[in-house]
Structure 1
Amino acid sequence: MIPDLPANIEQIKGFLAADEGAALYRHAQAARALGPVLEVGSYCGKSTLYLGLACRDGGTVYALDHHRGSEEHQAGEMFHDPDLYDSGEALVDTFREFRRNIRTAGLDDTVVPLVSSSDVVARHWRTPLGMVFIDGGHSLDAALLDYRCWSCHLVQGGILAVHDLFPDPYEGGQAPWAIYQMALASGLFAEVERVNTLGILRRL
């Protein structure tokens, strides 16, 4: 049972299953003692709510997203949502929906939005992290960038979580699976568990 989880959590736009959200909550609650949590790819804040509620009483979540949507969210693509399209700017804009969901959940003092890209924010980043959750762009270039920018900032014992793992290419994109395997092959991480399409690794 997750205290204060919004009753409408399943109606919030996003692609996170309930069991994956519960696993994020559990691991963030334990990892927050090691350092802040950083999420790459917040979209409308569904996963951010699980992380934020886990850190509400003594932690901070940095929610990193340019809020212009990933490749698959653009006009004409499979996961495009017209409600999140700013016709005046001719761009996807998920930030307003994100802020509304964070504010409604009472997490404005826990969640710090970083509205930019991984490489820009990571350029001068110096804060050790207790947990990194990667759920950003699913092209190989984007996933590799997120992994290389942020996995190096995890403290020993910290958690690296990667979403949308599909070992079978017929079931889903391969970029998240590729960086997950890269992390394991590095010898720096050990697998803790897999929940649905969410993989959890611990920094050795």
Structure 2
Amino acid sequence: MSASDVTAMPAELLALAVAAPGFMPVDEGLALFDAVRDNLGGGVAVEIGSYCGKSTIFLGAAARLTGGTIVTVDHHRGSEEHQPGWEYHDPSLVDPGSGQLDTLSAFRRTIADARLEDHVVAVVGRSATVASLWRGPVNLLFIDGGHTDDAARADYEGWAPWIVAGGVLAVHDVFEDPRDGGQAPHRIFRRAVDSGEFEQYQQKGSLRLLRRISARLGEPVR
């Protein structure tokens, strides 16, 4: 599908995305939808950090148009900011049996309600562990996992090597000013640009979209 295609996100899926629990602003989600629609084709996009599936609807809606596949990776135990006592903790997502946060059932319900199960493959596990097993090309990588330096660095180093030349790296929650948000996503964004392997082509809110200039799949990124 060409970049000139102006197919919009279906209204019913947009409504479900807006209603789903999560932290993806609509304008940033639509920019992500456009990036997948224009770059995925019949290939694979990988999402790191799906939470309850809000952002996955934007990704999956575009994959349904192109015939591509979204692989979304999350351990579904929540990031640091989702734990008890933190700002974004939601007690309704705590499993009463284990006493731990568990967003998997909410995620599955979101994707089932959106009828995107044929286009979204959920992998339950830690990003670094799954990345160590991955060996295929990625047309678009969306990093929105843990926001500690260790987590963000592992997401970038584990997955960015598989982005094809001309493919897209999308990084969420990139804030230049520390007063606006954590700096780990900003640091991997800067690392990608400074490496010379990626160049930014769009910004929408805290979402940064970069295109990979050249690639030797599987080789470590700088």
Length-normalised TM-score, structure 1:
0.97
Alignment length (residue pairs): 204
Aligned-residue offset at 1:9? 2.7
How has the CA–CA distance of structure 1 residues 112 and 182 changed in structure 2, closer, same or farther, with 3 Å as cutoff?
same
Whole-Å separation in 1 of the counterparts to 2:99 and 2:178: 32
Is 1:77 the counterpart of 2:86? The answer is yes
What's 1:2 paired with?
9
Contact 2:44/2:71, CA 8 A, preserved across alignment: yes
Contact 1:34/1:155, CA 8 A, preserved across alignment: no
Aligned-residue offset at 1:35? 2.6
What's 1:18 paired with?
26
Whole-Å separation in 2 of the counterparts to 1:82 and 1:124: 33
What's 1:28 paired with?
36
Aligned equivalent of 1:38, options 43, 46, 56? 46
Equivalent residues in 2 for 1:1-204, closer than 5 Å:
1-3=8-10, 4-33=12-41, 35-57=43-65, 58-204=67-213
| SS of residue in 2 equivalent to 1:93 | coil
| SS of residue in 2 equivalent to 1:92 | coil
| SS of residue in 2 equivalent to 1:133 | strand
Aligned-residue offset at 1:6? 4.3
Aligned-residue offset at 1:34? 6.9
Q: Which runs of 4+ in 1 moved over 4 A?
A: none
Percentage of identical aligned residues: 49
* One-letter code aligned to 1:177: H
* One-letter code aligned to 1:71: E
* One-letter code aligned to 2:58: Y
Contact 2:42/2:69, CA 8 A, preserved across alignment: no
Which consecutive unaligned segments of at least 5 residues does structure 1 have?
none
What's 2:216 paired with?
none
Which consecutive unaligned segments of at least 5 residues does structure 2 have?
1-7, 214-222
Whole-Å separation in 1 of the counterparts to 2:127 and 2:180: 27
Aligned-residue offset at 1:75? 1.1
- Of structures 1 and 2, the one with the larger relative CO (CA 8 A, separation 6+) is 1
* Larger deviation, residues 158-167 vs 34-43: 34-43
Aligned-residue offset at 1:27? 0.5
Contact 1:34/1:130, CA 8 A, preserved across alignment: no
Aligned-residue offset at 1:126? 0.9
Whole-Å separation in 2 of the counterparts to 1:125 and 1:8: 31
| SS of residue in 2 equivalent to 1:97 | helix
| SS of residue in 1 equivalent to 2:13 | coil
Contact 1:6/1:105, CA 8 A, preserved across alignment: no
How has the CA–CA distance of structure 1 residues 62 and 8 changed in structure 2, closer, same or farther, with 3 Å as cutoff?
closer
Aligned-residue offset at 1:12? 1.0
| SS of residue in 1 equivalent to 2:130 | helix
Whole-Å separation in 2 of the counterparts to 1:31 and 1:162: 16
Whole-Å separation in 2 of the counterparts to 1:8 and 1:141: 33
